[in-house]
Homo-oligomer: A and B are copies of this chain.
Amino acid sequence: MTQKNTTKEIISYSFKKLACEKAIDKISITHIMNQTDYRRQTFYDHFDDKYDLITWIFSYEVSELTELISFWEKREDLLFSLLTYLEENKIYYKKIFSNIKLDSFKDHFIYYIKKEVQTIVKDYYKNHVHSAYNQDSMEITTDFYTYGLSEMLYRWVLKDCIPQTNDFHELLIQAIPTKF
């Protein structure tokens, strides 16, 4: 872990803690930094604004979780990691997802899901669809899983992650077809 990321992590930790306690719109940069040993200016050395911080938190935390398991045979583990992460942070993400001013975070979330799905689908096509390898078809498969999954995870968080990770994971695995 670099020094730069350590500072970012400390700022993130402060923000996530505050976000679970009060409305996100009520949290100022001063609030966030008051909880750390840094000056207010340090925030701007690392982030443009609160929105930049929110997207960084998500990208950084999920990339730590999933970087080693983005291939087809591990798709169920990847999904499990992601569900576990969202459930562990459900108070925080419910606030983020339901804040209409942060509506564009959804695009960021979809973008992340798409990147993961893309890697997995590519891996599947490479190993299983020798004869009918087709770029257009692969893109459609990717889009379909991306939109289906993003919206389901989004709504799951908004419903307080019920059913819980283990049960929801099993249901998803069982109910989402993956045979072509």
Q: Which residues of A contact B (CB under 8 A)?
A: 132, 134, 136-138, 140-141, 143-145, 147-152, 155, 163, 171-172, 174-180
**Closest approach, in angstroms, between the C-beta of A161 and any C-beta of chain B?**
15
Cβ-neighbour of A143 out of B145, B152, B177, B178 (below 8 A)? B152
Interface pair A177/B174, CB less than 8 Å apart:
no
Tell me whether A144 and B152 are in contact in the complex, defined as CB-CB below 8 angstroms, given that A177-B177, A177-B179 are known contacts. Answer: yes
Q: Which B residue sits closest to A144, measured CB to CB?
A: B148
List chain B residues, Cβ under 8 A from A150: 147
Q: Determine the distance from Cα of A176 to Cα of B149 in the docked complex, in whole angstroms.
A: 13
List chain B residues, Cβ under 8 A from A163: 136
**Closest approach, in angstroms, between the C-beta of A134 and any C-beta of chain B?**
8
Cβ-neighbour of A145 out of B138, B141, B148 (below 8 A)? B148
12 contacts between A and B (CB under 8 A): A137-B174, A138-B175, A140-B152, A140-B174, A141-B177, A143-B152, A144-B149, A144-B175, A147-B148, A148-B148, A177-B179, A179-B180
List chain B residues, Cβ under 8 A from A143: 148, 151-152, 155
Interface pair A141/B179, CB less than 8 Å apart:
no
**Closest approach, in angstroms, between the C-beta of A146 and any C-beta of chain B?**
8
Interface pair A178/B175, CB less than 8 Å apart:
no
Known: A140-B175, A144-B172. 5 other contacts (CB 8 A): A132-B174, A137-B171, A138-B175, A143-B155, A144-B149
